[in-house]
Chains A and B, each alone.
Chain A
């Protein structure tokens, strides 16, 4: 089973600032990495797939990078609606499909 590790657990950022979230896989997942955003009381929403491709309707302030074992989600200028929990997920080796434990982006 591939273990996904996200860091940091919590990221405190001021509106308008840049946020950088990390995700590491226990073995190579190539570019088969997705990012999801989840707000309280809501279902997750797909942001990025293929490590760097934005899903339909996702603003271009969200960008993904990386391949192999190390990945990054960058939010270039945080808006109020971006404060949420973000999860990475690998889909290279399944089953199981595995998620990171999440990074909470909170207002500084």
Chain B
């Protein structure tokens, strides 16, 4: 069974940093492209970041470019999101999600999410 478990969320002040993790199991993590998607309270879904299976290709949404960095450790079956210079508008539940097959580009499995709250 595919499982994605996020961790690392919490309450931080504006300007601070946080690192989210997503631990994968039930599939060969190193073969799959991965994403971070977020959802502000009461709002819709927003794609945040993408990383290829090897980590060689990365994209970030304009809203987080220069502040957030996606990475992965295939030896640890883990995906990460380093979030710096956090803003109030980054408050959201952050989900990691899997691309089901190379080139599919949609999200077939999601974690349960981790809440990030940015507030003074």
* Contacting residues, chain A, for B59 (C-beta < 8 A): 94-96
Encode B32-43 as 1/0 by CB contact (under 8 A) with A.
Answer: 000100000000
Taking residues whose C-beta sits less than 8 angstroms from the other chain, chain B's interface range is 20 to 34
**25 pairs across A/B with beta carbons < 8 Å?**
A34-B106, A36-B45, A38-B45, A43-B95, A43-B112, A44-B107, A46-B106, A46-B109, A49-B104, A49-B108, A87-B44, A89-B106, A89-B107, A91-B105, A94-B50, A94-B59, A94-B105, A95-B50, A95-B59, A95-B60, A96-B47, A96-B59, A99-B44, A99-B45, A99-B47
Extra 20 A-B pairs, beta carbons < 8 Å, given A98-B47, A99-B46: A32-B106, A34-B106, A43-B112, A44-B95, A44-B107, A44-B110, A46-B107, A87-B44, A89-B45, A89-B107, A95-B47, A95-B59, A95-B61, A97-B50, A97-B105, A99-B44, A99-B45, A99-B47, A100-B44, A102-B45
Q: In the docked arrangement, what's the CA distance between A8 and B111, Å?
A: 28
Q: Which residues of A contact B (CB under 8 A)?
A: 32, 34, 36, 38, 42-46, 49, 55, 87, 89, 91, 94-102
Tell me the number of A-to-B contacts counted with CB atoms below 8 Å.
59
Q: In the docked arrangement, what's the CA distance between A12 and B82, Å?
A: 41
* Contacting residues, chain B, for A45 (C-beta < 8 A): 110
A28 to chain B minimum Cβ distance, whole angstroms, is: 16
